[in-house]
Amino acid sequence: MKRWWKRYTKNKIMKKIFITGFCIASLFFLSSINSARKERSHSLDDIPFTLYNLDVSKCTGFQHHTGSKVFIPQEALLFKNNKPCNTKITFSYRELRTPSEIITADITMKYFEGKLRKDLVTSGMFEVYAICEKETLALKPGKTINVFFAVENVETKTIAYRYDFTNSVWNNYNSPVADLSATSMYSDSVNQLWGSSPVPSLNDSSQIRGEDGEEYDIESGRRWEYENALKNNAFKSLEIDSFGLYNYDYILDKENYVPIVADFKILNQKAPLTRMVYVVYPHINSVLYFSPYEWKTGFSILPVEGVKIFSIMDNGNVAMLPSTDLTEQSVKSWKMKSHTFLLVENITLVQNSRQLASVTGIDQIVKK
């Protein structure tokens, strides 16, 4: 009994050490990439990255729980001073697929053609970085990473964009997007890109503590996610020559949108609203951001029912426009006129993407 207890205690201690180290590594990584970004427009917890340890002395890669695959060629990475990395490299990877995740990560969907603002509709986006000895790495000139992004189908034709964190806008990324079926992805020619078996994430065999205080085995969670992953459907393939955030998009058609000289206020509150206003439409996987300086001259809305308009307040609550306040006829009547939208505060505190989706219903309405 005593021997068993010592072994049990040792295992628990090792798990805690592992989890602590994993959390510290994650926090270091997030702080390093956030230092180059603008201040976040809300207080929601950011979307976490999954970490993968790789030996890049040979061709290798990893498979995310969604089914997406990332291939890294042999000796493709360098320190910023052009020195090689002589230890295992940690790849940090995440995907943003839903409006709640896009908002939580504080990523706009803005794209500019000259001075004309456009908004993008996404089939999904991924963000990837590599770190060695606490330093962010770069790809060698001429080297590229292949990302096979799992999607439900490839019916929607998209092009690639790369995010500019300094200006919070998307720019065209001049690399073609190839649409692949699941059958072609699991062919021998594609699998040869691995060079070795894809590695699991760093937290495969440990436990984490959930919001309810209970411990959950991550491996079990990953098995469940794999069973429900998109990996048996289709993929969008993209080669990237630098690390960052990439998007598979097409430009939103705004021909039927109604321009309104808008203002936004919170019902029964005297203080002016100074936060971002978000607009999400049924069956359109995008989020339209409108900052206060855009309300008067840059706000427009599609005259359809089911639109979600809301803001995340300083206290973490969501203020939403009641659905009854927005009809096709009323929107058309406001064309080129001044109109004040009264948002109603929801007293439920929102701290992450899951809670945001639950309170607003935005992820549900974009599903076709």
Tens-digit pLDDT profile for residues 30-43: 444 444 456 677 77
- pLDDT higher than 50, residue 18: no
Whole-model pTM above 0.75? yes
Same domain assignment for residues 151 and 213? yes
The whole-angstrom separation of Cα 346 and Cα 312 is 10
Same domain assignment for residues 271 and 206? no
Mean pLDDT of 263-288: 94
Task: Compare 87 and 224 and report the one with higher pLDDT.
Answer: 87
Same domain assignment for residues 246 and 344? no
Identify the domain boundary among 229, 251, 273.
Answer: 251
Same domain assignment for residues 9 and 57? yes
Per-residue tokens: 289:
């951001």
Instruction: Give the residue among 180, 159, 177, 203 at the shortest CA–CA distance from 65.
Output: 203
Least confident piece of the model among 51-55, 139-143, 201-205, 311-315: 201-205
- pLDDT higher than 70, residue 232: no
Over pLDDT 70: what percentage of the chain?
A: 74
Same domain assignment for residues 186 and 301? no
* Count: domains in the chain: 2
Same domain assignment for residues 59 and 199? yes
Q: In what order do the strands lie in the sheet with 288-290?
A: 261-266, 338-349, 317-320, 308-312, 277-280, 288-290
Indicate the pLDDT class of residue 6, thresholds 50, 70 and 90. very low
- Which pLDDT score, from 0 to 100, does residue 291 have? 94
- Which pLDDT score, from 0 to 100, does residue 157 have? 84
The whole-angstrom separation of Cα 161 and Cα 174 is 8
The whole-angstrom separation of Cα 275 and Cα 264 is 10
- Which pLDDT score, from 0 to 100, does residue 356 have? 95
The whole-angstrom separation of Cα 239 and Cα 156 is 19
Query: Do β-strands 60-63 and 69-72 pair in parallel, antiparallel, or remain unpaired?
Result: antiparallel
Least confident piece of the model among 54-63, 105-114, 204-213: 204-213
- Which pLDDT score, from 0 to 100, does residue 215 have? 34
Indicate the pLDDT class of residue 248, thresholds 50, 70 and 90. very high
In which domain, by residue range, is 190 found?
A: 2-251
Burial class (CB in 10 A: 0-12, 13-18, 19+), 90: buried
Tens-digit pLDDT profile for residues 281-292: 999 999 999 999
The whole-angstrom separation of Cα 263 and Cα 276 is 12
3-state secondary structure the chain: CHHHHHHHHHHHHHHHHHHHHHHHHHHHHHHHHHCCCCCCCCCCCCCCCEEEEECCCCCEEEECCCCCEEEECCCCEECCCCCCCCCCEEEEEEEECCHHHHHHCCCCCEEEECCEEEEEEEEEEEEEEEEECCEECEECCCCCEEEEEEECCCCCCCEEEEEECCCCEEEECCCCCEEEEHHHHCCHHHHCCCCCCCECCCCCCCEEECCCCCEEEHHHHHHHHHHCCCCCCEEEEEEECCCEEEEEEEECCCCCCEECEEEEEECCCCCCCCCCEEEECCCCCCCEEECHHHCCCCCEECCCCCCEEEEECCCCEEEECCHHHCCHHHHHHCCCCEEEEEEEEEEEECCCHHHHHHHHCHHHHHCC
Tens-digit pLDDT profile for residues 285-319: 999 999 999 999 999 999 998 999 999 998 889 99
Residues in the chain, overall count: 368
- Which pLDDT score, from 0 to 100, does residue 200 have? 52
The whole-angstrom separation of Cα 5 and Cα 286 is 53
Backbone phi, psi, residue 82, to 5°:
70, 15
- pLDDT higher than 90, residue 3: no
Same domain assignment for residues 286 and 198? no
- Which pLDDT score, from 0 to 100, does residue 10 have? 41
- pLDDT higher than 70, residue 26: no
Same domain assignment for residues 213 and 325? no
Same domain assignment for residues 167 and 241? yes
Same domain assignment for residues 9 and 46? yes
Same domain assignment for residues 196 and 320? no
Identify the domain boundary among 199, 226, 251.
Answer: 251
Instruction: Give the residue among 316, 321, 6, 52 at the shortest CA–CA distance from 204.
Output: 52
- Which pLDDT score, from 0 to 100, does residue 362 have? 96
Backbone phi, psi, residue 216, to 5°:
-125, 140
Q: What is the dihedral of CA 164, 168, 172, 174, to 10 degrees?
A: 20
Per-residue tokens: 134:
């606490």
Mean pLDDT of the chain: 80
Mean pLDDT of 319-340: 94
- Which pLDDT score, from 0 to 100, does residue 218 have? 32
Indicate the pLDDT class of residue 230, thresholds 50, 70 and 90. low
Same domain assignment for residues 216 and 173? yes
